[in-house]
Amino acid sequence: MAATDFISVELLTPRGPVRCMILFFIDIQTRMVELGGVKINPDGQWMKQVARNQIDCIDGFLKDKRYLVCDRGSLYTKDFENILKSSGVKIKRTPPWSPNMNPFSEAFCKTLRTECLSKMIFFNERQVRYAVEKFIFHYNTSRPHAGTGGKMIAPLVQDENGKITEFESLGGLEIPLDEAA
C-alpha cells in the first residue's frame, strides 16, 4: 500500500510569486518516499505521464502495490486512475476535508516543509526539484524515523573498513568524522 499527496512551494520570479507543486509517493509499510515530479502548472497530461512512470514494470514505485491512498484533488484525474488500475493499483480516496485519513503523506508534507522548503528561497522549478531530490535522499538514507523504531529506511552502506561514507548535501558544511570529535 502506498499514499500520495501534493505540496506547494512559492517561487520568487521576476514577474512575482509563482506556485510550484511537488508530487510524492510514500510506501506506507517502509516509509520510503519517491518523488513523483515537480511542476509549476501540473495538468492531466503531466499526471498521466507520472502514473505511467510509477507503474513501470522495471523501476516503477507502484509496480508491486495494490492500493494508493490519495485525497480528492482535481489533479488525480480519471485517466490517472485508469492507468493505475490497468496495472492492478486501486485508488482509495480519502473523505473530503479529512487529512487525518492520509497521515503518512501529511506527516511527510510537514517534514519536507519544516526541514527543507521553509529554509530556502527558490527562483525556479529546477532548484525546487534539486532540493527536494536531495532531501528525499537524506530522508530515505540518513534520517532515523520514529515510525520504524528509530531506524533509517535504507541506510547507506559502510565501506570495507566499516567507516561510514561522508558526502555533501545541498552545499552543507562537510566535517570529517575524525575532526568532529
Q: How far is CA 113 from CA 7, 35, 66, 131, 153, in A?
A: 8, 14, 28, 11, 20
Q: Give the mean pLDDT of 12-29.
A: 94
Beta-bridge partner residues of 153 = none
pLDDT of 161 > 90? The answer is no
Per the domain annotation, does 173 fall within a domain?
A: no
Residue 34 lies in domain: 2-156
Q: Is residue 176 part of a domain?
A: no
Is the per-residue pLDDT at 167 higher than 80?
no
Residue 10 lies in a domain: yes
**pTM, entire model:** 0.84
Mode of pairing for the β-strands spanning 33-39 and 90-93: unpaired
Q: What is the pLDDT of residues 3-16, one digit of tens each?
A: 999 999 999 999 99
Q: Is residue 165 situated within a structural domain?
A: no
| Mean pLDDT to the nearest integer, 141-153 | 79
Q: From residue 97, how far is each of 12, 101, 109 by CA, in Å?
A: 29, 9, 16
The sign of the dihedral angle between the CA atoms of 4, 26, 38, 57 is: negative
Could you tell me if residue 98 is inside a domain? Answer: yes
- Give the CATH number for residue 8: 3.30.420.10
Continuous segment of H or E residues that includes residue 86: helix 78-86
Would residue 181 count as lying in a domain?
Answer: no
Please give the full DSSP string across 114-176, using - where no structure is assigned: HHTGGG--B-SHHHHHHHHHHHHHHHHHT--BGGGTTB-SSPPPP-TTSPPPP---TTPPP--
Say if CB 156 and CB 164 are below 8 A apart.
Answer: yes
pLDDT reported for residue 181: 40
Residue 51: pLDDT band (50, 70, 90) is very high
What total of structural domains would you count in the chain?
1
